[in-house]
Amino acid sequence: MSGLRALVTGGAGFIGSHVAELLIADGYAVTILDNLSSGRNDNIPAAATFVLGDVTTPDAGTLIREGQFDVITHLAAQIDVRRSVADPIADATINVLGTLRVVEAVRASGRATRVVFASTGGALYGDFATPPNAETVPKDPESPYGIAKLSAEYYLTYAARLHGVDTVALRFANVYGPRQDPHGEAGVVAIFCGRVLDGRAVTIFGDGRQTRDYVFVTDVARANVAAARAKLPPPGRLDARAFNVGTGIETSVTALAAALGTATRRPVPVEHAPARPGEQLRSSVTIDKASAVLGWQPRTGLAEGLAKTYSWFAERRAPGAAH
């Protein structure tokens, strides 16, 4: 044990549980705060202390003020872009006010806790900029989800400048890997793996040429641990302490289905459905800044990541599997 203490909000979720595991392996004493709205008990590492609670509440503020944390990786969020369109107030309550709750509690604690915020690369830059997008391109979020993440980043920037709160934003591209929810709207890789295991065709909306930047969850967890410890530039404008976390590689959804077939040596039949209105056409992010400042680069290529993800879903389905 290093004596360092970490709080992982959303640590029962897909990415948060991987972050918690790596922080524990790195010697941190880890507390997880999660309301289990989409997270699962069985994602929580045995070595973590679990607090069932909502990040938007005063109780969360008390936990943060009194917890003597060296780092907070704040991943608790409403992650469904379509839900944010259907109910932007609910989205902003969690994604803006929940983040502000964390930042305000750290400010009130007077402690030099670093706040590592899970932002988005995919939903921040919009379709006007041509990928791969650097951190500094003009932001043009197209959904309440993206607007909320950008708003939260502005609060982080303000708190850093005015109150000296030690904040950093990681703008994740499209994260995939074990434990992603195959039933949600997000997570095309998880959805595709579920379909292949069911022996069903995968659905491609529109012409299949829409691109995303797929980054493996273990690599994203490593970026969080790197951001927890890195020497960072002084607070400045919005992008000063923001880092894209992706691969810089655009993969079309048609190519993704083909790559899944190759990686798993399974047939991946495709069915086509009408394009979804408002769907972003292209997305990928540059990672030079994360490489230079955080010393971080992705290590898992798409073929390896898809094979690992598919194996995890397959094992989970196996007779006698734990869950």
Ligand X SMILES: NC(=O)c1ccc[n+]([C@@H]2O[C@H](COP(=O)([O-])OP(=O)(O)OC[C@H]3O[C@@H](n4cnc5c(N)ncnc54)[C@H](O)[C@@H]3O)[C@@H](O)[C@H]2O)c1
Catalytically active residues are 145
Q: What does the alpha-carbon distance between residue 121 and residue 295 come to, in Å, rounded to a whole number? A: 19
- Residue 144 lies near ligand X (rule: CB under 6 A): no
Question: Contacts with ligand X in 64-123 (CB under 6 A)?
Answer: 75-77, 79, 94, 98, 118, 120, 122
Q: Mask of contacts with ligand X, 15-54, x by CB under 6 A?
A: xx----------------xxxxxxx--------------x
Q: Which of 28, 155, 172, 313 binds ligand X (CB under 6 A)?
A: 172
Q: Give the H or E element holding residue 173.
A: none
Q: Minimum Å distance from CB 214 to ligand X?
A: 9
Amino acid at position 152, single letter: A
By rule CB under 6 A, what string of x and - marks binding of each residue 184-223 to ligand X?
A: --x-------------------------------------
Asked if 14 touches ligand X (CB under 6 A), the answer is yes
Nearest distance from C-beta of residue 69 to ligand X, angstroms? 16
At 23 the three-state DSSP class reads helix
Instruction: With CA atoms as reference, report the closest residue to 115 among 102, 129, 131.
Output: 102
Q: What b/e readout covers 124-160, taking b as 16+ CB neighbours within 10 angstroms?
A: bbbeebebbbebebebebbbbbbbbbbbbbebbbbbb
Q: Which of 4-12, 84-92, 227-235, 283-291 is the region at the interface with ligand X (rule: CB under 6 A)?
A: 4-12
Whole-number Å distance between alpha carbons of 230 and 252:
33
Between vectors from CA 253 to CA 144 and to CA 283, what angle results, nearest 5°?
45
Residues that bind ligand X (CB under 6 A): 9-10, 12-16, 33-39, 54-56, 75-77, 79, 94, 98, 118, 120, 122, 172, 174-175, 186
